[in-house]
Amino acid sequence: MKYLLIVFSTLFVVSCKKDAPAGCNDGVKNQDEIDVDCGGVCSPCAIQYPETGAYGKNILFGTDTVVITEENSSMKAVIPEGSSVKIELELISGESWFFADEENWSVSAYSNNKQTFTNIHSGIADLELNNADTTNIDTILIRYFENGNNETKRKILIRK
């Protein structure tokens, strides 16, 4: 029985290696990769969320709950060629937000306490996100959809 398990495990590992494109784990930028071992025939490259943007603290940075005490902030992403991102903001409590100066974001209409922001092309996407009412505390759920329709992460934004 152990022998059969080893044979099947080996066949599974070999078949998985055949599915992965050659050179996507070699630590070298080759083939038509955008960066080392990503993009082109390999998996899409990672999207970066800098700590700050043109309008202040970036609400997309990090993985923990973010607390903003300023009236405005940035929503900034650096999207490599071949990658895409959609951000969904959902108002949990408080007053809605408004935005200005969107760069490289396509923005949906605000509906059912939600609004989505989708990058138009690769490069830098940034916009100014403003607090609609600075006398309230707002709680907003941020959902990330990177390189597809599946949610890849989420976090909470608290605006004071």
Query: Averaged over 108-121, what is the pLDDT?
Result: 97
| Nearest residue to 41 (alpha-carbon basis) of 56, 61, 52, 26 | 26
33 and 59, same domain (yes or no): no
78 and 34, same domain (yes or no): no
28 and 76, same domain (yes or no): no
72 and 130, same domain (yes or no): yes
81 and 21, same domain (yes or no): no
58 and 38, same domain (yes or no): no
pLDDT (0 to 100) of residue 37: 85
Q: Is the per-residue pLDDT at 45 higher than 60?
A: yes
Of residues 69 and 115, more confidence is placed in 115
90 and 112, same domain (yes or no): yes
pLDDT (0 to 100) of residue 102: 93
Residue 103's domain is classified under what CATH number? 2.60.40
Kindly list the distances between the CA atom of residue 48 and the CA atoms of 24, 54, 93, 96, 125, in Å, as whole numbers in the listed order.
20, 15, 28, 26, 11
123-136: per-residue pLDDT in tens? 999 999 998 777 78
108 and 143, same domain (yes or no): yes
Of residues 39 and 57, more confidence is placed in 57
129 and 110, same domain (yes or no): yes
* pTM for the predicted model, two decimal places: 0.81
What span, in angstroms and rounded, lies between the C-alpha atoms of 87 and 119? 9
Per the structure, the complete domain to which residue 37 belongs is given by 1-43
Kindly list the distances between the CA atom of residue 70 and the CA atoms of 16, 96, 99, 133, 144, in Å, as whole numbers in the listed order.
49, 15, 14, 12, 23
How much of the chain exceeds pLDDT 70, in percent? 86
- Cα angle value 109/86/49 (rounded, 5°): 125
142-155: per-residue pLDDT in tens? 999 999 999 999 99
Looking at the structure of the chain, the number of domains it has is: 2
36 and 59, same domain (yes or no): no
101 and 67, same domain (yes or no): yes
59 and 134, same domain (yes or no): yes
